[in-house]
Amino acid sequence: MFTGIIQAVGEITPIKTSSGDIKIDINAEQLDLSNVKIGDSIAINGVCLTVTSLSETHFKADISKETLNVTTGLDQKGQVNLEKALRLDDRLGGHLVSGHVDGVGQVVQFDPVNDCWLLAIQLPHAISKYIARKGSICVNGVSLTVNTIEKDVFTINIIPHTLEKTILGTLQVGSQVNLEIDQIARYVDRMQQWETES
């Protein structure tokens, strides 16, 4: 479980491919790994992965073909958002995030507005119904508040602090992003389905 509050920016390097699965090495020198052990979970661009190898500044993780099929940005070298798993005594500064990506969106607008930036993302139609104005959404692991939602496009405002502390500032029109909907919406939908099945 995570909060969507990014703790550091790291750099990912795919290091091995086997039957469609890959291993990755993460340079995480900006992230405190002193309390991390093998088997722990770390969210990489919003994707929950298991630490399989660890040093003072790096860790490795395995990614299955299935995970690669439903996410973006894990099979190529580049900067990534990092967050260690939530502990029971941590502050919940964002919202509850599972690290299970619901879909891949595409940036359709990213423009400065006063001191902030307006980010518009087109998302898969199948998950549009879960997005609500003033609701929460996770974009590449970052907990954000939805400003507007119209058809399959939602907008959010990005403040300067978020641009500075995450990789969202590197986005441009056409960029793909990992999206996770709010968990409450997922459970409400399942309860409604159950009612019709009963």
Is 91 contained in some domain?
no
For residue 177, pLDDT over 90 is answered with: yes
Q: Tell me, what CATH number does 179's domain have? A: 2.40.30.20
Report yes or no: 97 and 3 within 8 Å, Cβ to Cβ: yes
Three-class secondary structure of residue 109 per DSSP: strand
For residue 16, pLDDT over 90 is answered with: no
80 and 113, same structural domain? Answer: no
Count Cα neighbours of 188 within 13 Å in the Cβ-side half-sphere. 8
CA 26 to chain centroid: 16
Beta-bridge partner residues of 81: 9
Question: Are β-strands 116-122 and 153-158 bridged in parallel, bridged antiparallel, or unpaired?
Answer: antiparallel
Contacts of 98 (CB under 8 A, 6+ apart): 1, 2, 48, 180, 183
For residue 18, pLDDT over 80 is answered with: no
Last residue of a domain, one of 50, 84, 118: 84
Order of strands across the sheet with 136-139? Answer: 142-145, 136-139, 176-181, 103-113, 116-122, 153-158, 148-150
186 and 119, same structural domain? Answer: yes
150 and 75, same structural domain? Answer: no
Q: Which domain holds residue 67?
A: 8-84
Is 93 contained in some domain?
no
Is 1 contained in some domain?
no
What is the per-residue pLDDT for 14? 77
**Entry pTM:** 0.92
Which of 3-17, 87-101, 118-132, 149-163 bottoms out in mean pLDDT, i.e. has the lowest? 87-101
Determine the Cα–Cα distance for residues 113 and 120; give it in Å rounded to an integer: 13
Over residues 35-60, the pLDDT tens digits come to 999 999 999 999 999 999 999 999 99
For residue 153, pLDDT over 90 is answered with: yes
Pick the residue with more confidence: 197 or 127?
Answer: 127
Is 56 contained in some domain?
yes
Domain count of the fold of the chain: 2
What is the per-residue pLDDT for 127? 94
59 and 23, same structural domain? Answer: yes
